[in-house]
Structure 1
Amino acid sequence: MGKTLFDKVWDAHVVKSLVGDIDVLYIDRHLIHEVTSPQAFSELEKRGLSLFRKEKMVATPDHNIPTKDQHLPIKEALSRHQVDTLLANCEKHNVELYGLGHPFQGIVHVIGPELGITLPGRTMVCGDSHTSTHGAFGAVAFGIGTSQVAQVMASQCLLQSRPKTMRVTVDGELNKGVLAKDIILYIIAQLTAAGGTGYFIEYAGSTIERLSMEARMTICNMSIEMGARGGMIAPDQTTFDYIQGREFAPKGEAFESAVEYWKTLHTDADAVFDKEYHFDATDIEPMITYGTNPGMGIKITKAVPSHLGEGSVESYNKSLDYMGFKPGESLLGKPINHVFIGSCTNSRIEDLRIVADYVKGKKKAENVSAMIVPGSKQVEKQAIAEGLDQVLLEAGFELREPGCSACLGMNEDKVPTGEYCVSTSNRNFEGRQGPGARTLLASPLVAAVTAIEGRIVDITKHLN
């Protein structure tokens, strides 16, 4: 029997198999940031352990940092302490750090791919759930807890139970105005926020194959939002072209040799998955969420359903009460106060180009505060070089400095209590963007149109 893409990468990294389907898994790259690393460093020092392979680690601050005046000392005490602690730990243990002001600084899941640290066939971990992003390159990438961060620091290995495998195939041509974010929101709405629990998902099909690497990263990024351990897409020529020439990617003959190996990283024709789903791309329309988990998504032209299909009625009604919506209500025409374009899901140069292309020559609605936060210093630099910053500024958008920003409200960028934000981030939990904030997840294009119109609209009627 053949192997799946996941099996090939996982099996190549098993150091030892233990009883109970537990494997000792070797980790190729370990990414860290300021929130989940301090406790791990402390644990190592308490045990008298050193970093086993520090050259396999890369650090950057992203979660807590401000997105304005990053050249100044951080005002918020806890954020300043966490960033200073990361700096001190990296300096003490000689770990590569891209701190504030460094040309490589940015959201950890944005800088990994753009620097060529993320490569096909690698195992990658980070103390952050959206590590699944890197699976877009055919890597086995997943988030880990703080104790596991310490485990990798000390041994470059992890004790892991082998996940089950799932394949989600999407075939066909996408409709007008449909982006990768719509694809993944549609899939999660179909499978529910728990539909992938216990699985590593491979995304396949003609629709997926036609996507750019930025779009593939968006899809793999949100695998965790349906409970999956991670998501993967088989590497192909699109992948190789994206990687070639990146800062830390293989060069010359080493690159050509790597490509020959990467070409073997695909699911064999006779491989068997534990579960499979198939979707038709023509069924997907621009999406938006209406509730408090990413599975509560609808086509933007449809009404809020009377029930979710799974889970308690009480929980469903509580979610709608929080959002201020009613079953059967259409979201079209709903006024929006805030638009946030950013996060590790949608803060790459392709996302900024999509927004700038739509808003060029237009002005945002007066009732909307529109904030765009690039995912890295490199994205910011490229946006400025292409003149996107001026297009956005003239349209009334505020281009901030790189960071996680309003995705999670751990920093100064928060949505006020009770107000609505159309966000390109990945989670719409209660209070995710600030206490009492109401988040509606959507694509960068839906967010851009919403900012201009000041309300939720059928975006297909506003596209040329």
Structure 2
Amino acid sequence: MAKSLFQKVWDAHSVRKLANGQTQLLIGTHLIHEVTSPQAFGMLRDLGLKVAFPHRTFATVDHIIPTNELVEPYADSLAQAMMDEIRKNCAEFGVTFFDRASGKQGIVHIVGPEQGITQPGTTIACGDSHTSTHGAFGAIAFGIGTSQVRDVLATQTMALGALKVRRIEVNGKLRPGVYAKDVILHIIRLTGVNGGTGFAYEYAGTTFDGFTMEERMTVCNMSIEGGARVGYVNPDETTYAYLKGRPYSPKGADWDAAVERWESYASDPGAHYDDVMKIDAADVAPSVTWGINPGQGISITENVPSPETATSADDKAGIIEALE
């Protein structure tokens, strides 16, 4: 039976079906940071638990770290306290920590790819809504809350309900001055901010085939803005070229075996999708958002809409709220 990448990865990481209908899913890689992890570590202490698989967990600081201060203690006492806390927690629980002086610290969703930690065919969880960024590499990546961070630390698993899969094909060549951010804003404009609820998005088509990994990450990053829980691109030669030689990427014969395994996760021809969208790249224009959510977008040649142009009462109320 032909399967999508999402279904293959889901099946490979399913531990068991729970009584409530959810699936207990193995999480291959857990990324943590200083904002959503302190309470989770505190809960582990209260329960007398350890991190189940420390080698599958990687930490960094990115949300509160000052950009204008290089020397500690920081002027912001809360920032310093959070820095101290994650250092203490990682040392106590044996978690790899990319501290500021390591040369590996950065935005958590960029650290994973840069270090070769983010790899195709795996599941990734992080206590941040934009974890779908990692889907650019053919991973299934979930943003999670603090209680789920606790669950993954303690068991390397989490409970999730099944998702539908929507394939979004963008084909053709983008016009000059149109970029990956315009593509995802165009998609969100078409679907709305809730249109992806309950879905994993598979981004495909010749436009994505020609994208760099950074461009793919840009699109996958904003999947959540369209309501989708997951967004991913099938791995290909562009993916492998980016990962080769990275610190945590496989080396030597292991590399060849890894690429062969990664290729097997790509969606099969004829795979079933719950929905398919097709977009002509020529229809994507340089875009901006004018309102208070990413779905309120227009091309730079359009006017900001007035309430009188609304097609429904809800649309009118949304325009009025945004303009006020």
TM-score band by shorter chain is over 0.9
The residue type paired with residue 113 of structure 1 is: P
**Relative to structure 1, is the Cα distance of residues 226 and 60 closer, same or farther in structure 2, using a 3 angstrom cutoff?**
same
Counterpart for residue 373 of structure 1: none
- Give 5+ residue unaligned stretches, structure 2: none
- Secondary structure at the aligned position of 1:285 is classed as coil
Counterpart for residue 313 of structure 1: 316
Shift of 1:36: 0.2
d(CA) in 2 for partners of 1:132, 1:265: 17
Q: Deviations over 1:381-422 (max 9, x none)?
A: xxxxxxxxxxxxxxxxxxxxxxxxxxxxxxxxxxxxxxxxxx
- Secondary structure at the aligned position of 2:25 is classed as strand
Shift of 1:313: 2.5
d(CA) in 1 for partners of 2:306, 2:267: 40
Counterpart for residue 158 of structure 1: 158
Question: Comparing both structures, which one devotes a greater share of its residues to helix?
Answer: 2
d(CA) in 2 for partners of 1:31, 1:11: 22
CA contact (8 A) 2:288 2:297 kept: yes
The residue type paired with residue 197 of structure 1 is: T
d(CA) in 2 for partners of 1:140, 1:132: 7
The residue type paired with residue 260 of structure 2 is: E
CA contact (8 A) 1:99 1:105 kept: yes
d(CA) in 2 for partners of 1:53, 1:98: 17
TM-score (norm: length of structure 2)? 0.96
- Secondary structure at the aligned position of 2:35 is classed as coil
d(CA) in 2 for partners of 1:101, 1:284: 42
Q: Deviations over 1:174-201 (max 9, x none)?
A: 0001111111011111111111011000
- Secondary structure at the aligned position of 1:245 is classed as coil
Shift of 1:79: 1.6
Shift of 1:20: 4.6
- Secondary structure at the aligned position of 1:36 is classed as coil
Q: Deviations over 1:264-311 (max 9, x none)?
A: 122222221111111000001111110111111111121112356573
Q: Deviations over 1:409-439 (max 9, x none)?
A: xxxxxxxxxxxxxxxxxxxxxxxxxxxxxxx
The residue type paired with residue 161 of structure 1 is: G
**1:160-309 alignment runs, 5 A limit:** 160-306=160-306
Shift of 1:259: 0.5
CA RMSD, 1 decimal: 1.3
The residue type paired with residue 103 of structure 1 is: G
- Secondary structure at the aligned position of 2:102 is classed as coil
- Secondary structure at the aligned position of 1:301 is classed as coil
Counterpart for residue 419 of structure 1: none
The residue type paired with residue 318 of structure 1 is: E
The residue type paired with residue 306 of structure 1 is: S
TM-score (norm: length of structure 1)? 0.68
d(CA) in 2 for partners of 1:312, 1:288: 18
- Secondary structure at the aligned position of 1:248 is classed as coil
Could you list the runs of 4 or more consecutive aligned residues of structure 1 that deviate by over 4 angstroms after TM superposition?
A: 307-310
The residue type paired with residue 130 of structure 2 is: H
| Match status 1:101 vs 2:105 | no
The residue type paired with residue 33 of structure 1 is: H
Shift of 1:2: 1.4
d(CA) in 2 for partners of 1:238, 1:179: 18
Q: Calculate percent identity across the aligned residue pairs.
A: 48
